[in-house]
Amino acid sequence: MSKRDDALKAVQQNGFAILGLSADLQNDKKIALAAVKQNGLLLFALSADLQNDKKIALAAVKQNGFAFCWVSQALKSDKEVVLAAAGQPGFELDKVGEPLKNDRDIALAAVKQNGLALRELSANLQNDKEIALAAVKQNGLALLELSEPLKNDRDIALAAVNQDGLALWGLSADLQKDKEIALAAVQQNGLALWGLSKYLQNDMDIALAAVKQNGLALEYVSQELLSQYSDISGSMRIFQNPSSLWFISGENGGPHSNDLTGGRNFGHKP
């Protein structure tokens, strides 16, 4: 087996093996291609000529989007290369060549992979509903990067809280009062109950959903709701446990006494 064959086999098993090769072997296109297929970040170690080779660049960014940093300037403006990178973790939209910075296809691919890439887009693309919706589906907190009109879009708001309940706190006051949106938010993260109006904190459906998702949400259930579901003798009481968390213990078993605790008495005797 020749030195070249040995080198090729080595980089196919471990791309970093290319770093120990002679300059001639490092500049061998087949060996370089094998290396970046194994680890795209090894594009950084290649010559400028190889970084400008479209086949090698494509293989590198498909393996790791961060490899786009070392693609030649010419290829940073190649739509096929940019689209391949945009769909991978590690891709940085701000590295895209000027001609493609406002390309809608690339923007959509980027936010589908990382919703927060929305902040790198032009105002025009940030105001595109399809792009905004894709962004919040990937990361609900991308909602915070949107214009006020899109923050007030109910479809976008619902998608955002379904992905991250805490996105609720970035919504307009009107949308925060929407029961369907509030319910979706607490089902994803019970602690979103904290940001709701007293009226919604007093809604049994929302309170139950929040506590089922996260027991700590019980601290934010309204006192009115807790007292409403105590039994006649007042045996449902509120205690503060050693972790400073509030919970209900239905010691005498009123009809709704354990609804909010999922039937648990948190260490108290039945």
pTM: 0.76
Contact 87, 66 (CB under 8 A): no
Contact 245, 219 (CB under 8 A): yes
The total of other beta-carbon atoms located within 10 Å of residue 264's CB is: 14
What does the alpha-carbon distance between residue 80 and residue 165 come to, in Å, rounded to a whole number?
35
Beta bridge partners of residue 236, listed in sequence order: 250
Contact 181, 175 (CB under 8 A): yes
Structure tokens at 233: 């003798």
| pLDDT in the model for residue 192 | 95
| pLDDT in the model for residue 32 | 96
**29-38 and 3-13 are packed helices; what angle lies between their axes, rounded to 10 degrees?**
20
| pLDDT in the model for residue 202 | 87
Q: Which residues lie below 8 Å from residue 170, measured CB to CB, with a gap of 6+?
A: 141, 143, 144, 151, 160
Torsion (CA) 143, 145, 147, 152 in degrees, nearest 10: 10
Give the burial class of 35: count Cβ atoms within 10 A of its Cβ; 0-12 exposed, 13-18 middle, 19 or more buried.
buried
Torsion (CA) 85, 88, 90, 94 in degrees, nearest 10: 40
Domain parsing of the chain, residue ranges: 177-270
Query: Average pLDDT for consecutive 10-residue bins of the chain (270 residues)?
Result: 90 94 94 96 96 97 96 96 94 88 94 94 94 97 93 96 95 92 96 90 89 87 73 29 37 42 38
CA 120 distance to own-chain centroid = 16
What does the alpha-carbon distance between residue 66 and residue 62 come to, in Å, rounded to a whole number?
10
| pLDDT in the model for residue 250 | 40
- Nearest residue to 197 via CA among 180, 214, 178: 178
Read off the amino acid at residue 143.
Answer: L
Q: Which residue has the tokens 């910075």?
A: 101
